[in-house]
Amino acid sequence: MTTPDPLSTLTFDHERVLVLTGARSGLVISVAVHSTKLGQALGGARLWQYDTWADAVADSLRLAAAMTLKNAAAGLQRGGGKSVIRIPPGVVLSPEEKRDAMLDLGDAIESLGGAYMTAEDVGTSAELMSIVAERTEHVCGLPPEQGGVGEPADATAAGVYASILSTLDAMFGSRVLARRHIVISGLGQVGGRLARMLAHDGAQLTVTDVVAARMELASELGAAWVEVDEAHRVDADLFVPCGLGGVLTSEVISELAARGVVGAANNQLAQPEGAAELAARGILWAPDFVVNAGGVIYLSMASEPNADQRAIEERVAAIGDTLSRIFRDARDRGITTLEAAQWLAAARLGEV
């Protein structure tokens, strides 16, 4: 059977896409600028393993389009973009090779003339962004000791937390976390922080991660541990995906035992039709590009002159209010939460 081309299934409405082989690293780099209608595109740089270069490019296109929706729905004067650096299967980069990749990425971003600003994402960090900054000024989220605003994981987790409260309110008429059973899939920078917050407030946790060493966090928090491919089958109030995207396939949706889904992972729906499949099963889904906007809100606002930390925190907390509006719109208009969130972002983009 012929494997379908991952690029052939995508709608291409991006302003600019740059695909190149890094002069130093020899790695394929894709920088996708989806929209600058609201302002300079902003979105992180992902350093990850992909089977083919086409898979990496396709991911950058999907992620860039999602960033346009995310930034618009969050009310930011930012467009959407994303960078992806492909690591071939089985390859482990040395620190020197990572440095070369970041320098190549910096050159690629600089060649776009300011259309796109990058930041950390999966596989990268504030420290790696400081290397990108050697080649371009269009990067944010550098370490504080270098005058930057640091990594945005705290803000992302805070936004997901606010979204969880709003989702519980829409489902049960209460924001109380005590004794609510929540399944978290992915205990990385955001998922781990979120698990601590939820445990502190009395939630009953079941957790998992592809990294077995993170079982230690489960033990510390008194959380149950399950295998990754079993997490969605756990009977719970909420399923919280905090790893890579595409987790909500038709098969997973048909087996999902939670009553709601709200998490930090990008592009959770394997196909857009998944939103209707979730609704048909009576499962409330919180659109990911709304839920996980805390990080980009932080990076955008904290990078401005005279940044106000309290204003940033209030803006991140307001993600919960935005989500509540989306739930109401979806219910009142008889549409999916995905359509309601897209409508909100489209209205914002149409204001310009």
User: What pLDDT is attached to residue 1?
Assistant: 45
Which residue segments constitute the domains of the chain, with CATH numbers given?
16-65+80-146 (3.40.50.10860), 154-350 (3.40.50.720)
- 138 near 117, Cβ under 8 Å? yes
Least confident window among 10-14, 40-44, 248-252, 293-297: 10-14
Q: What is the pLDDT of residue 5?
A: 66
DSSP state of 120: B
Report, as an integer, the average pLDDT of 225-244. 96
Residue 46 · residue 82 · CB < 8 Å: yes
Compute the average pLDDT of residues 18-22. Answer: 98
Question: Which sequence positions are flagged as catalytic?
Answer: 82
Q: What pLDDT sits at residue 244?
A: 80
pLDDT tens readout for residues 49-97: 999 999 999 999 999 999 999 999 999 999 999 999 999 999 999 999 9
Query: What average pLDDT does the structure give for the chain?
Result: 94
Give the percent of the chain with pLDDT over 70. Answer: 97
pTM to 2 decimals? 0.88
- pLDDT at position 293 is 96
Q: How far apart, in whole angstroms, are the C-alpha atoms of residue 21 and residue 15?
A: 21
User: Do residues 268 and 240 touch, judged by C-beta distance below 8 A?
Assistant: no
The answer on pLDDT for 6 being more than 90 is no
Q: What is the pLDDT of residues 163-209, one digit of tens each?
A: 999 999 999 999 999 999 999 999 999 999 999 999 999 999 999 99
Residue 351 scores a pLDDT above 90: no
Task: Give the model confidence (pLDDT) of 134-146 as tens digits.
Answer: 999 999 999 999 8
In this predicted structure, what is the pLDDT of residue 188?
92
Are 204 and 234 in contact by the 8 Å Cβ rule? The answer is no
